[in-house]
C-alpha cells in the first residue's frame, strides 16, 4: 500500500498501539474513565509533567482545544492566536460557538506568535466596550511545522503573566516538537509557563485520543462537566487510556516522532537537490512547505498524494509520519526530478 505525504492523519495505527487496544479488549470493565487503563495513562502523564496536574482525555484535537480553552475564557473574552492556528481556521467555528468569545488572529510568516505583536493587541484593558484578551494560544509544533524554542515560549509566557492572561498550547504534534528541541515535554510547557496543554496522540500513531492537561488543578475545577457538555466524554474510555499508556511507554512517542522528523529532513534533502523547488519554512518537525511549479503538481500528487497549502503561490505541504519510509522519500525525490527535467 502506497504512503502519501498528505497528513500524519493519513497514517494508520502503530502496531504497538493496536496491540494495546487488543489487550484492553478483554471482558467487562468500568466505563467513563473508571478503569485501570485510564488510571495507568494518567500516572504516565504525571510521570512526565508532575503529580500535581489534572489530566482529561478527549476524542479529537478540536475537542481538546475548544474544551481546554473553554476552561480559561468566558464569552466576553478574546483569545490571541495566529491567523494559521488550527483553532482559527480548521475548527470551523467551534471555539466561537462553544466559548462564544472572540479570536484575535495575528498574521504569521512562520507559524509563530511573537511578544511584541501580542503586546500590540492587548488594548483597552478594563474597557467594558471591548473584548478582553484572556488567553494566548500557541501551537507546538506550529501549523508550518516550525518549533518554538523554549526561550520563545518563556518570552510569550512573560507577556501572559504581565497582563494576567493564560497561556494555552495546542500540542497536537507536541512529540515532534520535543524531539526537535531535544527537550523533555515539561521543560517547554509547564516549566515555560504554559497553563493548559492539548497533548496529541492521533498524529503520532494512535487511532484516536488526545489529552487535556491542566498544570494548575484549580483551572480544571468544573472540567468534568464541561467535557460531558462538550460531548467529548468517551464511555469506553479504557481504549483511550490503553493507547496513551502504550504511547508513553518504552519511548514509543519518541521513536515515532523521531522517525517522522527524520523522514522530513531526508525529504528536505531530496527537494534541495532540485533547482525549481523553494522550501519556504524551516524544517523543524515532520512537515515541509515548498513552492513548486504549478504544472507539475497534479502528476506529483498522483505519485504520492499531498495537499496544496497556498494555491496563490503554488506552495504545497508535505507531511511525514511514523510510517513514512526512506523508499517513500526517495521515490518522491525521483519523481520530482523527472517532472522538473521533462
Binding site for ligand PLP (CB under 6 A): 60-62, 86, 139, 143, 170, 172, 202
Cβ-proximal residue to ligand PLP, closest one: 61
CA 316, CA 308: separation in Å to the nearest integer?
4
Minimum CB–partner distance for residue 210 and ligand PLP (Å): 7
Per DSSP, 74 falls in state -
Minimum CB–partner distance for residue 273 and ligand PLP (Å): 28
Minimum CB–partner distance for residue 122 and ligand PLP (Å): 24
Nearer to ligand PLP, 62 or 157 (CB): 62
Cis-peptide into 234, omega within 30 deg: no
Angle at 254 (CA atoms; ends 250, 259), nearest 5 degrees: 120
Nearer to ligand PLP, 172 or 243 (CB): 172
Count helices and strands (H / E) in the chain.
13, 11
Nearer to ligand PLP, 132 or 232 (CB): 232
Minimum CB–partner distance for residue 61 and ligand PLP (Å): 2
CA 163, CA 101: separation in Å to the nearest integer?
18
Q: Let me know: does 252 contact 14? Beta carbons within 8 Å.
A: yes
Q: Let me know: does 123 contact 68? Beta carbons within 8 Å.
A: no
Nearer to ligand PLP, 4 or 139 (CB): 139
Nearer to ligand PLP, 91 or 270 (CB): 91
Minimum CB–partner distance for residue 7 and ligand PLP (Å): 7
Minimum CB–partner distance for residue 269 and ligand PLP (Å): 24
- Cβ count near 299 (within 10 Å): 12
Q: Let me know: does 10 contact 328? Beta carbons within 8 Å.
A: no
Nearer to ligand PLP, 143 or 284 (CB): 143
Q: Which distant-in-sequence residues (6+ apart) come within 8 Å of 327 by Cβ? A: none
Amino acid at each position: 500500500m502506497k504512503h502519501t505525504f498528505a497528513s500524519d492523519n493519513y497514517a494508520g495505527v502503530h502496531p504497538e498501539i493496536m496491540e494495546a487496544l487488543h489487550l484492553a479488549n478483554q471482558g467487562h470493565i468500568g466505563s467513563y474513565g473508571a478503569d485501570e487503563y485510564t488510571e495507568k495513562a494518567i500516572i504516565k502523564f504525571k510521570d512526565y509533567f508532575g503529580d500535581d496536574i489534572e489530566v482529561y482525555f478527549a476524542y479529537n484535537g478540536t475537542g481538546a482545544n475548544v474544551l481546554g480553552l473553554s476552561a480559561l475564557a468566558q464569552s466576553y473574552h478574546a483569545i490571541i492566536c495566529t491567523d494559521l492556528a488550527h483553532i482559527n481556521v480548521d475548527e470551523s467555528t467551534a471555539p466561537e460557538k462553544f466559548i462564544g468569545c472572540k479570536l484575535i488572529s495575528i498574521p504569521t510568516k512562520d507559524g509563530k506568535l511573537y511578544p511584541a505583536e501580542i503586546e500590540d493587541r492587548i488594548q483597552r484593558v478594563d474597557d467594558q466596550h471591548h473584548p478582553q484578551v484572556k488567553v494566548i494560544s500557541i501551537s507546538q509544533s506550529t501549523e508550518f511545522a516550525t518549533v518554538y524554542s523554549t526561550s520563545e515560549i518563556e518570552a510569550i509566557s512573560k507577556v501572559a503573566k504581565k497582563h494576567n492572561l493564560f497561556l494555552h498550547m495546542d500540542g497536537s504534534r507536541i512529540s515532534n516538537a520535543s524531539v526537535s528541541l531535544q527537550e523533555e515535554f515539561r521543560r517547554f510547557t509547564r516549566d515555560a509557563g504554559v497553563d493548559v496543554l492539548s497533548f496529541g496522540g492521533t498524529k503520532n500513531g494512535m487511532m484516536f485520543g488526545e489529552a487535556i492537561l491542566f498544570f494548575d488543578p484549580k483551572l480544571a475545577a468544573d472540567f468534568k462537566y464541561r467535557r460531558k457538555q462538550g460531548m467529548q466524554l468517551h464511555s469506553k474510555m479504557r481504549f483511550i487510556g490503553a493507547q496513551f499508556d502504550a504511547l508513553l511507554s518504552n519511548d514509543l512517542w519518541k521513536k515515532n516522532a523521531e522517525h517522522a522528523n527524520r523522514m522530513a529532513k531526508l525529504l528536505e534533502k531530496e527537494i534541495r537537490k532540485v533547482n525549481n523547488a523553494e522550501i519556504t519554512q524551516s524544517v523543524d518537525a515532520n512537515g515541509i512547505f515548498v513552492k513548486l511549479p504549478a504544472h507539475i503538481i497534479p502528476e506529483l500528487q498522483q505519485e504520492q498524494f499531498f495537499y496544496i497549502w497556498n494555491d496563490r503561490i503554488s506552495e504545497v505541504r508535505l507531511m511525514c509520519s511514523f510510517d513514512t519510509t526512506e523508499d517513500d522519500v526517495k521515490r518522491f525525490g525521483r519523481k520530482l526530478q523527472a517532472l522538473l527535467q521533462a
